[in-house]
């Protein structure tokens, strides 16, 4: 088995080296056919048995090169401990050595060897063990460790490997059998297509033509070769959309795949993937092969049918648009995917393509194949195996760094902190907002059918409504943020967070004001017990606690009134569902296990992950201070190889705190793509209780340079290709300063404070089941009753009396459209100021106009006033409005008891509008005017009336009111007209 593993490792190394060289020479290889043959050669190399296996010894036998800095006499006691890595010790801050700065080009660069490294002879005869027996014991122990661990590791690797092979084989078989079953419904192609294929095959030198079959389904045209003779599978619906010229180029593309033998490459891929499913080089080679095959086929089609370039380009667009999500089918060779469509179209329409290999290129590839396919070097090992001596300059491991960081915090635990966060914004932030506002306003001018990708509409009606609703809210938010007064406030330094925090590393308690800018609030004036203190002393503050003794562990108090729908607190087991509980500071939360991914843009979260997330890069100076450079990776490589990386400069002399951290996206070579997009730097560290804590931290966020983006847009409009533009730089935007105002180490907190019990009869929400509760009661509150929805039968009216003394109900109006309005006029009895009176008069004017228009069309207007309303008050209101409608007072003794209002409006008894059709069912209600659907309906009405959705501050309140009433009148009128058009 070891021989097989060594062979696989050797093949992998050779294939990786060959692939790396090919990537370096990629731009010089103009012919895609040559590139494809070399890629296929790499694939074949992975599964080729070898007979030429030269041996390369990593180190000469008997001597080992090690790094030694501290010269000392080695006693037998020291040697028998067999320690590989030293225990890290902090160096005195005044005596630390000056270490040259390290320049790093890639996150995969090896850590530099110390300047003091030398070669030392550690053979057994020269090692001073004190006695021959001690030396033998030391050597026996050393060789035992070095033999057992590799055996166990190889065994584990073998098991995982075999499981992966079995899994891949089962997956491949399942996919092949499933597709083979799908092809049972395939039908022969028409005679016209078969004749066309015969002519095309003769043109490219094919003696036999694969069978042509048609299938129904959203499938890409492909060449299928498995369990039978090769077949070209064509989707029926796509062929119907193509003219003869397009069908000809499509058929030729698939015939070229067959002519080139690409289906045999699929079988090689299948075998190689089964063995090397774990190897990223294999997947990269597979991707490059697929892309290059399409380039070769494109070139062959254009060379064969040069007069049909445009038809071929059009058929590619139609084929890829037809398949919205093209799935790869094992063993099939298809027309390609949409992600490189633009590049293919440019080459097809603008370039001179070549897809045939010259004799000279074939000879070069053959020489490479003869030289490399049978070649597999084996790695030898020195006869004498040993461990390096203890070395204080050797770089610590990630485990060492994290352990030392946590040990520093343990000296401070539990801690109590008061802090504040200040922020300010640069001109770059405002420019970014202006650009976003411009884009959002343009979005509001579009219809759903305007948003397409590859000719396909992106959103359904519901998703589009949500998008428009979010966009309108964004426009309003940006308009407010860009007002001159608000810009001035944003540029000035202001408090955005002001809090109290306590933690012992496993649990925490936090308090913060409801209004972050409220500087007068004392965060710890009184304890939280008895629970009644929450209502009397903490009405202007939020509190949160996380403790293993709480069941569930999280409890938050938000104060406020006794509104059961909102609640005064929450409980749960998910930290991230509690609003405003995170900060950028290292608060010692090193042992909490979060239920969801935690915000990694702070020091403590970065230093609290598993050591496997990090890599120690080397040593580097940070403003004259020696630090250890550590890279942490937040995301795995994406499809383009880009991933997010944190780089941290850790100070071993100050509690292993990261003094600087940078977030950036890097490519496969470790190069930063667009510059860093945020960084943190520690401005002040204090030594407390023989430990270190950062007292001031600066967080700098970056935004894209809007001025460069505008210039790029202008260059694109002038015809410059987007891929030729330089990457958009990022420049400093928002700045935040986290500052400790009070710090107390080793501070114990009361258990009752951590429990954070709610006062009796407090409404709160349980985030685990989503239900509302009342403290002191185990059963959840009943779910709120919803209003009567469109399509439901309108329930009978249960009113105390009609204003005219008559007796009636909805059944009396069957066959007519009823406009039912729940209205509360109690506020009109109080004296109104001039502005309120103006708004009421404007509304009444529209009501009179509306009533007169639709009463003449037979619409019945009914008003239901809350229980307890004075009849004389209703008569005075109707007289003031100058139009009378049928009015009734709801049954019940007070507003909350209004029975009909509860039936129609559910739990929320407020102003309600219901349109009842001729058949007695609800045709429209006020819910349609709320939320995302309501905002989208509002937008639709505004566009029909040619009323701008956004307007400047020059528009008066009266004009804004008039426009709003116009839009509302349009919406309700449209619904009444629809109801009137339906016959009973």
- pLDDT in the model for residue 898: 86
Average confidence (pLDDT) over 153-172: 83
Identity of the highest mean pLDDT range in 468-477, 539-548, 741-750:
741-750
Structure tokens at 688: 């407390």
Tell me: the pLDDT tens digits for 860-891? 999 999 988 889 988 888 888 888 889 999 99
pLDDT band at 79 (very low <50, low <70, confident <90, very high): very low
Closest CA to 230 of 202, 196, 266: 266
More confident residue, 69 or 685: 685
- pLDDT in the model for residue 132: 40
Class of the CATH domain delimited by 799-981: alpha beta
- pLDDT in the model for residue 340: 58
Phi-psi region of 892 (alpha: psi -120 to 50; beta: other; left: phi over 0): left
- pLDDT in the model for residue 314: 83
Tell if the pTM clears 0.85, that is, is over it: no
Q: How far apart are CA 730 and CA 744, in angstroms?
A: 39
C-beta of residue 823 within 8 angstroms of C-beta of residue 867: no
Query: If you search the block for the tokens 């021959």, which residue do you land on?
Result: 132
Identity of the highest mean pLDDT range in 353-367, 423-437, 636-650:
423-437
Sign of the C-alpha dihedral computed for residues 528, 529, 532 and 533 taken in this order: negative
Q: How far apart are CA 844 and CA 149, in angstroms?
A: 87
Closest CA to 283 of 272, 298, 299: 272
Structure tokens at 626: 């020696």
Q: How far apart are CA 57 and CA 774, in angstroms?
A: 74
Q: What percent of the chain has pLDDT over 90?
A: 13
Alpha helices in 235-354 (DSSP H): 236-240, 244-260, 262-275, 280-304, 309-322, 341-350
Closest CA to 661 of 601, 702, 609, 617: 601
Bridge partners for 213 per DSSP? 188, 233
Radius of gyration in angstroms for the set of CA atoms belonging to the chain, rounded to a whole number: 38
pLDDT band at 802 (very low <50, low <70, confident <90, very high): very high
Burial group, residue 529, by CB count within 10 angstroms (0-12, 13-18, 19+): middle
Tell me: the pLDDT tens digits for 245-275? 888 888 888 888 888 888 888 888 888 888 8
Q: What's the chain's average pLDDT?
A: 76
Phi-psi region of 98 (alpha: psi -120 to 50; beta: other; left: phi over 0): beta
* Domain chopping of the chain, boundaries: 80-116+401-425+590-749, 184-260+280-358, 426-490, 506-587+750-781, 799-981
Tell me: the pLDDT tens digits for 502-552? 888 778 888 888 876 666 778 887 888 888 888 888 878 888 888 888 888
C-beta of residue 467 within 8 angstroms of C-beta of residue 459: yes
pLDDT band at 171 (very low <50, low <70, confident <90, very high): confident
- pLDDT in the model for residue 820: 93
Tell me: the pLDDT tens digits for 615-625? 899 999 998 89
């Amino acid at each position: 088995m070891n021989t097989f593993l060594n062979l696989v490792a050797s093949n992998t190394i050779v294939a990786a080296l060959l692939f790396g060289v090919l990537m370096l020479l990629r731009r010089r290889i103009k012919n895609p056919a040559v590139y494809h043959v070399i890629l296929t050669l790499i694939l074949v190399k992975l599964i080729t048995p070898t007979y030429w296996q030269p041996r390369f010894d990593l180190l000469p036998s008997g001597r080992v090169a090690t790094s030694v800095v501290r010269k000392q006499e080695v006693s037998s006691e020291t040697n028998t401990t067999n320690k590989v890595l030293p225990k890290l010790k902090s160096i005195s801050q005044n005596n630390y050595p000056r270490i040259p700065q390290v320049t790093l080009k890639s996150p995969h660069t090896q850590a530099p060897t110390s300047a003091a490294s030398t070669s030392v002879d550690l053979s057994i005869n020269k090692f001073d063990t004190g006695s021959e027996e001690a030396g033998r014991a030391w050597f026996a122990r050393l060789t035992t460790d070095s033999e057992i661990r590799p055996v166990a590791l190889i065994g584990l690797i073998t098991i995982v490997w075999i499981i992966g092979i079995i899994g891949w084989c089962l997956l491949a078989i399942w996919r092949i059998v499933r597709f083979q079953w799908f092809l049972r419904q395939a039908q022969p192609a028409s005679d016209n297509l078969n004749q066309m294929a015969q002519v095309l095959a003769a043109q490219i030198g094919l003696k036999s033509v694969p069978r042509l079959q048609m299938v129904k389904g959203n499938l890409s045209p492909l060449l299928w070769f498995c369990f039978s003779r090769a077949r070209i599978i064509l989707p029926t619906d796509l062929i119907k959309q193509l003219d003869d010229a397009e069908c000809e180029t499509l058929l030729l593309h698939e015939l070229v795949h067959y002519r080139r033998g690409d289906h045999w490459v699929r079988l090689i891929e299948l075998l190689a993937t089964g063995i090397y499913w774990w190897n990223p080089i294999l997947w990269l080679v597979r991707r490059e092969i697929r892309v290059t095959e399409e380039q070769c086929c494109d070139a062959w089609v254009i060379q064969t049918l040069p007069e049909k370039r445009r038809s071929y380009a059009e058929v590619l667009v139609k084929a890829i648009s037809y398949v919205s999500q093209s799935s790869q089918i094992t063993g099939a060779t298809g027309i390609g995917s949409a992600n490189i469509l633009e590049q293919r179209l440019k080459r097809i329409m603008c370039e001179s393509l070549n897809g045939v290999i010259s004799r000279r290129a074939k000879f070069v590839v053959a020489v490479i194949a003869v030289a490399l396919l049978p070649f597999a070097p084996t790695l030898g090992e020195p006869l004498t195996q040993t461990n390096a001596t203890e070395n204080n300059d050797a770089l610590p491991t990630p485990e060492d760094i994290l352990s030392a960081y946590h040990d520093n915090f343990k000296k401070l635990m539990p801690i109590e902190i008061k802090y504040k966060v200040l922020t300010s914004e640069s001109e770059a932030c405002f420019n970014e907002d202006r650009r976003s506002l411009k884009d959002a306003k343009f979005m509001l001018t579009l219809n759903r059918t305007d948003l397409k990708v590859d000719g396909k509409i992106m959103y359904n009606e519901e998703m589009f409504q949500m998008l428009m609703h979010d966009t309108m809210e964004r426009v309003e938010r940006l308009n407010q943020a860009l007002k001159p007064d608000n810009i001035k406030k944003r540029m000035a330094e202001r408090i955005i967070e002001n809090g109290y925090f306590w933690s012992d590393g496993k649990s925490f308690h936090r308090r913060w004001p409801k209004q972050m800018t409220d500087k007068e609030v004392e965060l710890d004036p009184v304890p939280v017990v008895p629970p009644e203190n929450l209502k009397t002393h903490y009405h202007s503050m939020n509190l949160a606690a996380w403790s293993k003794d709480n069941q569930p562990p999280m409890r938050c108090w938000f104060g406020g009134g006794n509104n059961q729908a909102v609640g005064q607190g929450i409980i749960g087991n998910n930290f991230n569902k509690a609003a405003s509980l995170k900060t950028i500071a290292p608060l010692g939360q090193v042992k909490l296990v979060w239920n969801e991914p935690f915000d990694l843009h702070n020091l403590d979260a970065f230093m609290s992950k598993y050591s496997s997330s990090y890599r120690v890069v080397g040593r580097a100076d940070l403003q004259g201070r020696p630090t250890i450079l550590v890279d942490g990776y937040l995301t795995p490589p994406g499809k383009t190889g880009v991933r997010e990386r944190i780089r941290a400069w850790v100070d071993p002399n100050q509690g292993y705190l990261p003094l600087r951290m940078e977030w950036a996206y890097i490519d496969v070579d470790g190069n930063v793509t667009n510059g860093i997009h945020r960084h943190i730097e520690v401005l002040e560290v204090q030594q407390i209780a023989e430990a270190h804590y950062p007292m001031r931290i600066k967080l700098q966020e970056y935004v894209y340079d809007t001025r460069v983006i505008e210039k790029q847009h202008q260059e694109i409009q002038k015809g410059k290709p987007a891929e030729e533009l330089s990457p958009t730089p990022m420049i400093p935007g928002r700045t935040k300063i986290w500052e400790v105002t009070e710090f107390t180490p080793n501070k114990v907190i009361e258990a009752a404070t951590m429990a954070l019990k709610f006062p009796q009869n407090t409404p709160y929400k349980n985030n685990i089941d989503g239900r509302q509760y009342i403290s002191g009661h185990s059963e959840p509150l009943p779910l709120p009753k919803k209003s009567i929805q469109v399509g439901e039968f309108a329930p009978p009216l249960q009113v105390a009396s009609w204003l005219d003394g008559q007796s009636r109900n909805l059944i009396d109006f069957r066959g007519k459209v009823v406009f039912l309005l729940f209205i509360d006029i109690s506020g009109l009895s109080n004296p109104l100021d001039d502005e309120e009176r103006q708004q009421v008069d404007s509304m009444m004017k529209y009501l009179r106009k509306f009533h007169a228009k639709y009463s003449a069309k037979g619409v019945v207007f009914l008003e239901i006033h809350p229980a307890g309303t004075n009849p004389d008050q209703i008569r005075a209101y109707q007289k003031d409005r100058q139009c009378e409608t049928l009015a009734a007072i709801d049954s019940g003794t007070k507003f909350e008891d209004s029975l009909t209002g509860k039936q129609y409006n559910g739990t929320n008894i407020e102003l309600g509008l219901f349109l009842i059709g001729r058949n007695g069912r609800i045709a429209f209600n006020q819910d349609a005017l709320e939320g995302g659907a309501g905002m989208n309906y509002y937008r639709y009405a505004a566009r029909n009336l040619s009323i701008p959705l956004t307007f400047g501050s020059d528009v008066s309140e009266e004009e804004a009111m008039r426009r709003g009433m116009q839009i509302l009148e349009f919406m309700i009128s449209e619904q009444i007209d629809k109801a009137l058009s339906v016959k009973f």
